[in-house]
Amino acid sequence: MTLVNIISAIGNNSSVYPLIVRDCGIEVPTKIALTYNQNKKESKDIAYLAARERFLDEYATSAVWLGGIPLVGWACDKFIKAKGLNPKVNLKLFKEEVGVQGIEYNIKKFKETAPDAVKDLLKAKENKKLYEKLLAGKFAASTAIPILFMGFILPKMVFASSAKKIAEQRQKEQQQQINFVQKDKFISFTGGNWITKAANFSAQDKMAVTDGGYAVGRVVTARNKNETYDIAFKMAGMMFLNFVAPKWIEKVLNKLTGVELDPIILADKNFVSQIKDNTLKLPKSSDAKDLLEFVDNINNKDTLFIKYAKKFGKITMLDNGVRDPRAYVDIKNLAKFRNDLENFAKKALTGGEKLFKNARVAKSANILTNIGLSSFLLAYALPKAQFAFRKLITGSDLEPGLAPANKNV
């Protein structure tokens, strides 16, 4: 994979790649170090336990978060296929968009060019209620199982592990220099439209929903009142900085530089030459009919517009070059992509070849800046804000769940 491909992948804020980079590569190691240093101010023993808890908690959560959701989704898809239905059929197609797309419209339009996909549409149409139930079950399983593990089971396991370590320390330390929280506190617990929306959640969308449930679970399983406040503050900040802030930062940076296109497109020599030769083929307008007429014209299957619209998930194509009739097309998203290409092409006609290089550098810098800034906010700024909040409500630097009882009054 080239540097441009890597930058492109981590710059796609609708995918999991930026989350992997920020979460596993930057955020978690930094948080572990900060947690140790913060607790070390009052107790090295608690600092060790707090860092250990953070390590186990964060990496186990990341494993479920990044791998568990897709795995459960895959298993559910296998089950749906065993029922004779294809999970690729988008439920949004049941709401007909006259003259544009819809299950009836697509069945008629693609019955000759994509007969196998049309069979899937017909089966979904004939078994709509069952299909909706299966997709609802898939969504529930893909989110509920990770939430149950991350929000309820994992903290109980980590707390119990810490309790065991504390017991071991007590045996080694004849003098009870630190009055830990009693062991039992470590292991006790103090149709329709939504289905259509949920069935079309991306992996990142499911992660956001899972994070919400995971946050609730962590608050519920907190070991005392102060830990409840501490965790609630942290989880609210994490959700905002993981799922909202990067997209806001991306919009601001794109506006400042005036570059919307992905660096992979900007580095494509064919894209450069087609703009120079004025041979870049695009839909004649951003109107829904013009967009889909262009996409569905088999003569356009090798155009750069189709190539990159497919690559960045704006359309789904079958192997024979025909648009997949089972997939729903987000017209607004596709129209923006078309307009971004056209606007850049107009600028390039007067800006010359230097514009391509400057735009590629600017967009790559935007992506790296976004990753760097959002990682800094997650890995350093948020923990520091959490520590300040903790100090304010508890009067101590220690982890509320591990602090001596008199620190958690």
DSSP-assigned states of every residue in 273-325: HHHHTT-----SSSSHHHHHHHHH-GGGTTSHHHHHHHHTTSS-B-TTS-B-T
Answer for the pair 115, 64: CB distance below 8 angstroms, yes or no: no
Nearest to 46 by CA among 408, 406, 409, 401: 401
pLDDT at 2: 58
Take residue 157 and report the two structure tokens written for it: 């396991």
pLDDT at 154: 79
10 Å CB burial of residue 24 (0-12, 13-18, 19+) is: middle
What contacts 15, CB < 8 A, 6 or more positions away?
A: 9, 202, 203, 204
What contacts 107, CB < 8 A, 6 or more positions away?
A: 118, 121, 122, 125, 325
What contacts 351, CB < 8 A, 6 or more positions away?
A: none
Take residue 354 and report the two structure tokens written for it: 């230097």
Q: How far is the CA of 283 from the CAs of 101, 269, 272, 298, 344, in angstroms? A: 17, 21, 18, 13, 15
Answer for the pair 264, 8: CB distance below 8 angstroms, yes or no: yes
pLDDT at 11: 59
3-state secondary structure of 111: coil
Take residue 282 and report the two structure tokens written for it: 């695009």
Take residue 14 and report the two structure tokens written for it: 């609708």
Q: What is the pLDDT along the chain (409 residues), one digit of tens a residue?
A: 456 666 565 556 566 666 677 777 777 888 888 888 888 888 888 888 888 888 888 778 777 767 777 888 889 999 999 999 999 999 999 999 988 999 999 999 999 999 999 999 999 999 999 999 999 888 888 878 888 887 788 778 877 877 777 666 666 654 444 343 333 333 333 345 666 665 566 555 666 677 677 677 778 888 889 988 998 898 889 888 888 898 899 999 999 998 899 999 999 999 999 998 889 999 999 999 999 999 999 999 999 999 999 999 999 999 999 999 999 999 999 999 999 999 999 988 877 778 888 998 999 899 889 989 988 998 899 999 999 999 999 999 888 888 776 555 4
| Cα Rg, the chain, nearest whole Å | 26
3-state secondary structure of 87: coil
